[in-house]
Amino acid sequence: MLDKLFARYEELYPELVEIRRELHRNPEISNEEVETPKKIAAYLIELGLDVRTGVGGRGVVGYLKGGKPGKTIALRADFDALPIQDEKQVEYKSQVAGAMHACGHDLHTTTLLGVAKVLSEIKEEIPGTIVFLHQFAEETTPGGAQFMIEDGCLDGVDVVYGAHVMSHEPVGTAQVIEGYASSAQDDFYVEVQGVGGHGASPHMTVDALVTACQLVVNYQQIISRRVSPMRQAALTVGAIHSGSVTNIIPDTASLKGTVRTFDEETRDVIENAMQQVTASTCEAAGATVKFNYIRDCPSIFNDATETDRIREVAKWVLGTENVSDAEKMTGSEDFAFYQQVVPGTYFMVGGGNPQLNAVYPHHHPKFDVDELSIQHIGKIFIGGALNYLSDGEIKKDLKKNSVLL
């Protein structure tokens, strides 16, 4: 059965490439997506799916109810672009000034539309329901996932899968990881209030700028002395602002930054330590302070069973030698919010190809990927979803090279 579905997906490839390029020419940045969700909804409606629009704000959810009773699986793609000027010299270059798909979300969306089309053609044979989650605003904080969940996009869903194309991995490969896969993202904002004065009379002031600089130094000791060396974490001060002229000691200083962790225990340790260090450092300097720590996005935690399922399907699609276990990503992804509601897994597929100049990192003005990765993600989605809904009855015998349903 899977052989036929994969062949059908390959037949759609030219159509899917055109969809991806149309999306690439017409990007819409986070929380400004208007036409993109309309196009997605129209495509799914034409396939005969039940469709909800405006989910959580701008999300689109399609429901493919199989002809047989069974469980429910959700497949997720994001569709927002970034505020970056496209510098590629290709015919499908962004036509919108200051906006481009620099992270592959156009490809994710296209892939999931193709999956919906193939699976809708065997609707009566599907045991259960497949939910297609098209998410807005993944690139912002807070991302669209939370709002779509609050609006019921996971109601009745038993498991969720997501995928990301990776420009630094060769096309034709896939990477999976069990357990923690991406870091949590937290942001902090600090406002130090001192007493300003003349640069020639520092003894008559409470120097907010010096105090803020001391905070930057003291924060680094949290990672080296408060966090276990067996844990992974990063604390970065990304900006500090204070003063404007050479001979005035400023009365205020502000700084902000980000914290990345994987497990909740380390997350708690760092937040509590930052509160203590901030208060004590400012008190010692005679300054007052406002400290705001925001937990933006949790860690992706991939379910062992579902990750193993995707690993085996990916080996079937791409070959055992082309599927590997990935290292944890220090970036964050709001797919993690879905996994706080239902178990699931998030996998990566290679899209890099030097021959196509698809070598630039994500969020780069010349970012691009090999569009063959559409086929690879799509086939893994199809195989994984049907294997799950059939309770694993779709099996791969690597020696016999056969698929059974």
In the predicted model, is pLDDT for residue 357 greater than 70?
Answer: yes
Nearest to 73 by CA among 129, 135, 141: 129
- The tokens of 62 are what? 């399609």
Does the pLDDT at position 58 exceed 80?
yes
* pLDDT recorded at residue 9: 98
- The b-or-e profile of 362-391 (16+ CB within 10 A means b, else e) is bebebbbbbbbbbbbbbbbbbbbbbbbbbe
Q: Is 119 within 8 Å of 126 (Cβ atoms)?
A: yes
Over the chain, what is the mean pLDDT?
95
Confidence at 402, pLDDT banded by 50, 70, 90: very low
Q: Can you tell me the distance from the alpha carbon of 404 to that of 316, in angstroms, rounded to the nearest whole number?
A: 13
pLDDT digits (tens, 9 = 90+) for 304-329: 999 999 999 999 999 999 999 999 98
Domains of the chain with CATH codes: 2-182+299-404 (3.40.630.10), 184-297 (3.30.70.360)
Q: Which amino acid appears at position 333 of this protein?
A: E
Distance CA 40, CA 50 (A): 13
First-to-last CA distance in the chain? 7
Indicate the pairing of strand 159-170 with strand 68-78: parallel
The single residue listed with the structure tokens 């399922």 is 309
325 exposed, middle or buried (CB, 10 Å; 0-12, 13-18, 19+)?
exposed
Read off the pLDDT band of 394 (50, 70, 90): low
pLDDT at 1: 80
Sheet holding 233-241, edge to edge: 233-241, 252-261, 184-193, 288-297
Q: How large is the average pLDDT for residues 4-10?
A: 96
Dist. CA 344–CA 160, nearest whole Å: 5
- What are 190-204's pLDDT values in tens digits? 999 999 999 999 999
Check if the beta carbon of residue 134 is closer than 8 Å to that of residue 315. no
Structure tokens at 133: 């989650």
- Read off the pLDDT of residues 235-264 as tens digits, 9 standing for 90 and up: 999 999 999 999 999 999 999 999 999 999
Residues designated as active site: 80, 138
CA–CA distances in Å: residue 13 to residues 113, 181, 314: 11, 30, 19
Would you state the pLDDT for residue 344?
A: 98
3-state SS assignment for residue 188: strand
Give the three-class secondary structure for 399.
coil
| Predicted confidence (pLDDT) per residue in 109-153, tens digit | 999 999 999 999 999 999 999 999 999 999 998 899 999 999 999
For the chain, what's the residue count?
Answer: 405
pTM: 0.91
pLDDT (0 to 100) of residue 395: 56
Residue 134: name the closest of 159, 157, 156, 153 by CA.
153
For residue 320, what are its two tokens?
Answer: 């055992």
CA distance 77 to 338: 12
Rounded Cα distance, 382 and 37, in Å: 22
The closest alpha carbon to 113, from 378, 373, 310, belongs to: 378
Q: Which one has a higher pLDDT value, 398 or 229?
A: 229
Q: Which two tokens stand for residue 376?
A: 């690879």
Across 24-106, the runs of DSSP E, i.e. the strands, are 50-55, 59-65, 68-78
pLDDT digits (tens, 9 = 90+) for 88-114: 999 999 999 999 999 999 999 999 999
Confidence of residue 397 (pLDDT cuts 50, 70, 90): very low
